[in-house]
Amino acid sequence: MKLHYQTFGSGRPLVILHGLFGSADNWRGLAKNLAEYAYVITVDLRNHGRSPHSLEQSYELMAEDLRELLNELDLNAIDLIGHSVGGKVAMTFAQNYPELLHQLVVVDIAPRAYSDEHSKIFDALLALDLLSYSSRSEVDRALSVTLPNKAVRQFLLMNLALEDGLLNWRINLPTLSESYPKLLHSVCDNKIIDIPTCFIRGGGSTYVGDDDVDLIKTIFPDSELYTIERAGHWVHAEAPELFQSKIIEFFNYD
C-alpha cells in the first residue's frame, strides 16, 4: 500500500509512526524540531490520516506497508519511533525486517496483549450520522454525551474533515473497529530482537508497568526503559521537551 507521509530536514532517516486514531499530523511539531538533526518522515498508517483505506488491518500488513515506503524512498535502513499501536507496528517491523533498522524507540506500549479500552470510542463515533452536523463544534457537543473527556474528543476530532461542505472521517472506522480485537494481541512472541531499543513510558500511564520489564528484556535484550514521570500515555505531547531530549540522546544526534 502506498502510504501518505510528510518529510522534514535532511540527513540520517528517522521514521515516526502514530497510534490508533492518530496521524502524521500529531507529530509535526516534534518532526520539525528533530529536522535539525535528521531526515524525519512522519507516516499515516493504513486506514488513518490521508493514507488509503483497506478492508484489512494487521501488524504484519502495516509493517509491510512501511517496508514498501522505504523502497519507494530508496532508504536502506532507518531509525524508527512508534507510539502505542504504532509501537507495535515498529516492533513487528523490527522482527520482520531487522536489516532495515538501526535503532528503535517504542513509546508507551509493551509487546504483550492488552484489554479492550477503545470499543466505547468506536461505538460512539460509529453511532454518529455526520450528515446531521455541519461543524466540528456540533459533533463535539454530540460526542460529549458518550465521551465526556474533552481532551479525548479533541484528539478524535482531528480526524474529521470538511470536504465540499460535508463532514467525513479520514479514518476508516468500520475496518478499524472490526480489526480492533487483533490490534490488542501481543507481538514478537517467542522472538529475540537484538536491535538497540529504548522503551519510553509515561509515569502516569498504565500501558507499560514494572511487570512488563522482564518480557521487554526477554524479547529486546539490548534495550532500556526510560520513564517520564509527569506524562501519561501521550508522552510526546504531554512532556515534549523531556521526550525530545531523550530522543536526541538515544539516537546520538549531535
Q: What is the CATH number of the domain that holds 211?
A: 3.40.50.1820
Beta bridge partners of 107: 83, 200
The yes-or-no answer on residue 84 being catalytic is yes
Rounded distance, CA 90 to CA 244, Å?
19
Window from 9-23, 37-51, 67-81, 161-175 with minimum mean pLDDT: 161-175
Same domain, 125 and 208: no
- Three-class secondary structure of residue 116 per DSSP: coil
Can you tell me the mean pLDDT for 196-219? 97
pLDDT at 165: 84
Same domain? For 80 and 111 the reply is yes
Q: pTM for the complete prediction?
A: 0.97
pLDDT over 90 (residue 163): no
**Do 10 and 134 belong to one domain?**
no
Are 108 and 35 in a shared domain? yes
Has residue 10 got a pLDDT over 80?
yes
Nearest to residue 184, comparing CAs of 67, 91, 84?
Answer: 84
Among 154, 178, 202, give the residue marking a domain's end. 178
Q: Whose grid coordinates read 500511564?
A: 205
CA 207 to chain centre: 14
135 is catalytic: no
- Residue 133 C-alpha cell reads as 452536523
Considering the domain architecture, whether residues 127 and 197 belong to the same structural domain is answered as no
Catalytic one of 18, 48, 83, 233: 233
Q: 23, 84, 177, 223: which is the annotated catalytic residue?
A: 84
Residue 175, class by beta-carbon neighbours within 10 Å (0-12 exposed, 13-18 middle, 19+ buried)? middle
pLDDT above 70 coverage of the chain, percent: 100
Q: Is 143 left (phi over 0), alpha (psi -120 to 50) or beta?
A: alpha
β strands within the chain, DSSP E: 5-8, 13-17, 39-43, 78-83, 101-107, 160-163, 166-169, 197-202, 223-228
CA 140 to CA 131: how far, in whole Å? 14
Quick one: 71 and 190 in the same domain?
yes
On whether both 90 and 130 belong to a single domain, the answer is: no
- Looking at the structure of the chain, the number of domains it has is 2
Provide the pLDDT for residue 141: 96
* 14 neighbors 39 (Cβ within 8 angstroms): yes
53: confidence class by pLDDT, cuts 50, 70, 90: very high
Mean pLDDT computed over every residue of the chain = 97
Nine-digit cell string for 189: 512472541
**How high is the pLDDT of residue 164?**
83
pLDDT at 254 over 80: no
Enclosing domain of residue 38: 5-115+186-250
Give the residue from 228, 239, 219, 235 showing the smallest Cα distance to 88: 219
Q: Which three cell numbers stand for residue 95?
A: 522482527
In terms of domains, do 95 and 214 share one?
Answer: yes
Same domain, 227 and 126: no
Residues 69-123 have pLDDT tens digits of 999 999 999 999 999 999 999 999 999 999 999 999 999 999 999 999 999 999 9
